[in-house]
Chains A and B, each alone.
Chain A
Amino acid sequence: MPAARIEFSKGLQDFIQEWKDKPGNLIMILHRVQQEFSYIPREAAERLAEELSMPLAKIYGVITFYHLFKTTKPGKHRIAVCMGTACYLKGGQTLLEECEDILGIKGHEVTDDGLFSIDAVRCVGCCGLAPVLMVGNDVYGKLTKEQVPEIIAKYRG
């Protein structure tokens, strides 16, 4: 038992109650947990293990299987650089490297101030705008390397 039990919002608790006994509940609940914390904290996984009477190992098997689930806290602004076929061919790799250079971190890492993290992702679904990167839910398309510093600067304030 963790020393201090992690807080779940009322909404999350209700969601868990609703899904508790349904088949396929784990993935649905993990999505909801990630929505609340932006990742799946170990303490949250432990609390789920207890509430769902499920071994922690099973939960981690699922969390680590799907790229979408994170076990570490991402930056406040999550930069997703698309590496789908179209974006990749139009220079997605250059965008990724530019982001990494500017922020001084690699993919899956978080800046020291906790502001940014970078992920290389597969197709984000707007190939017509290739190459694309997203910051949070904002989409930036038809980019060149030169535009990247300005985009990142917008989120620093």
Chain B
Amino acid sequence: MVNAKINGVPVQVAEGTTILEAAEKVNIKIPKLCYNDDLPPWAACGICVVKVEKNPKMLRACCTPLEEGMSVITHDPEIVQVRKTVIELILSTHPDDCLQCPRNGSCELQTLAAEFGIREQPFEKRLRDLPLDTSTGTLVLNPDKCVRCGRCVLVCQEMQNVWAIEFLGRGENTRIAPAADVALADGPCIKCGQCAAHCPVGAIYENDQTKEVWDALMKTGADDMTCVVQIAPAVRVALGEEFGLEPGTVITKKIYAALRRLGFDVVFDTNFSADLTIMEEGTEFVKRFTDYASGKKKELLPLITSCCPSWVDYMEKYYHDMIPNFSTAKSPQQMMGAMIKTYWAEKAKVDPKKIFSVSIMPCTAKKWENGRNKDMWSSGYKDVDTTLTTRELARMIKQAGIDLVNLPDEEADSPLGPYTGAGTIFGATGGVMEAALRTAYNLITKEDLKDVNFTGVRGISGIKEARIHVKGIEVRVAVAHQMGNIAQVLDMVRTARDKGEDAPWHFIEVMACRGGCIGGGGQPYGATDEMRQKRIAGIYSDDEKSTYRCSHQNPYITQVYADFLGEPNSHKAHELLHTHYEKRSVYKV
């Protein structure tokens, strides 16, 4: 342990604790801009400088460990002036169009400027005039707004191991761009949006599609559209943060009510189609596992989940040799889209041409997924017309003047609304695996589990492994989240395969974002592990409160198969609910 003083207050911390972290322990807030809890300190901005007794220089608190006997001053008029100058210098190269900026009101630089009472611009304004990159249709890169804090680059390279962006150039000409200045869409970018979620300013943000949705909602007369909406599992435990609620507060029924007040005609829940995904993917797993266990076909295991579009994109670029192992089941978003414009349209006697299908997702990549390949038009129309992130939905609710927190609870519409606990846990890392195991157990044994909780696959650690016994047969599973953790798992699978050995696991779940979808790139800003864990806790509380906790128990799922799909993995199910993958190059040729 290290004993020191911060502003005269004695503090004892573990060795290696930085001054910034130690100060937080004694309730002193040192301002920061480039530093982020998820990332190693980068020391780019210089706002966190402090004085250390007997040291002539000011030191950056984010990357200086507290040492035995140190006496640190975090705030005095001189330090405040230095910080203010740093902010003024950053502002001298930053556009002043805050009122039109997507981060207006959530910008960390704007907050600092306000806290430091910046009223003048003493330095000459030197703006760059670099082009916007809108190539992905999901994320917008505005390098003019970049403060070169380095968060997006660290996220993309270290957390996600994607390397879509890098610092190009040097000094004041440094900019964030893909290698060789290709368009973002033509390089390794997987559209996970973690860069946008970590950007402190408006340099990277989601492509805002709220206008398209407003336009559809407003259409009347001959142009009138039946607007159908679905909300993803992870949205319900995070949207509240935009309205002052604690992370993890489950507000599903208020969201249903808000969506109706926004003008949606029909409100469905992606949790229902998550149950559907489990029926399809669980059946797929059981088939492959049975063949494997009987020694018939060993190479089709492990089965790898495919609900996460960023992961699909990554796999098609980096692990296309594993396409045969990939579940062909579409993601819940796309299954719901297909069911709305076929099954529901038929049932409700609505012309699918007149349906406008919107999904609310915690994810930026879902905007890309809805047009990923021709399978996303399985109904004969675009199955999901527009995808909005949690942040965009929050904006619409605020624009509409809806007091979300105090709305009365409402229910989703039937039959594509009611869901089980298995559907809801899709939003957290390990959730798809747990949901699949709950149903796979039943499919194999024709019995239900006494205890449906597979706690071994839960939690925030990057890679989780578990062994489950199904009537004497051992099923080995692995769960990985945060893209940078995936290679470790898949490289082991590759090695085993190439040596002709048994796969280390039978079933693997992958989610690109830290914590799973609850930590998605389209979720409210400022996620930390503490917040992610609260969101996860919200997800599991929703599961525990559910009447049914296994997808196959959902009576509406039974109905959909009886009325329309036949059996899981039937011909019709394959046409509507399954997809294909193809090998793609990392850089567009």
Contacts and interface: CB of A to CB of B under 8 A. Distances in A.
A153 interface: no
10 contacts: A46-B587, A55-B179, A56-B180, A56-B587, A57-B179, A57-B188, A58-B163, A61-B168, A64-B168, A64-B169
Contacts of A65: 167, 169-170
A61 B188 CA distance: 15
Contacts of B88: none
A102 interface: no
A135 B411 CA distance: 78
Contacts of A45: 179-180
Contact of A60 (B168, B188, B585): B168
A59 interface: yes
Given A55-B163, A65-B169, A65-B170, A60 B589 contact: no
A57 B587 CA distance: 11
A3 B589 contact: yes
Interface in B147-197: 157, 163-170, 178-180, 187-188
A46 to B, nearest CB: 7
**What interface size band does chain B fall in?**
10 to 19
B170 A64 contact: yes
Nearest to A60: B179
Nearest to A56: B179
A71 B181 CA distance: 11
A59 B179 contact: yes
Interface residues of A, number: 17
Interface of A: 1-3, 42, 45-46, 55-61, 64-66, 71
B163 A56 contact: yes
A78 to B, nearest CB: 21
A72 B183 CA distance: 18
Contacts of A71: 180
A1 B589 contact: yes
A42 B186 CA distance: 14
Given A65-B170, A71-B180, A57 B585 contact: no
5 tightest A-B CB contacts, nearest first: A55-B163, A57-B166, A60-B179, A56-B179, A57-B179
A57 B166 CA distance: 6
A95 B214 CA distance: 60
A64 B587 CA distance: 19
B589 A2 contact: yes
A46 B179 CA distance: 10
A2 B182 CA distance: 14
Contacts of B169: 64-65
Contact of A1 (B164, B170, B180, B585): B585
A66 B169 CA distance: 8
B588 to A, nearest CB: 11
Given A58-B166, A60-B166, 9 more contacts: A1-B585, A42-B180, A55-B163, A57-B178, A59-B179, A60-B180, A61-B166, A64-B170, A71-B180
B579 to A, nearest CB: 25
Nearest to B167: A61
Contacts of A56: 163, 179-180, 187, 586-587
Contacts of A60: 166, 168, 179-180
Contacts of B585: 1
B192 to A, nearest CB: 16
A127 to B, nearest CB: 24
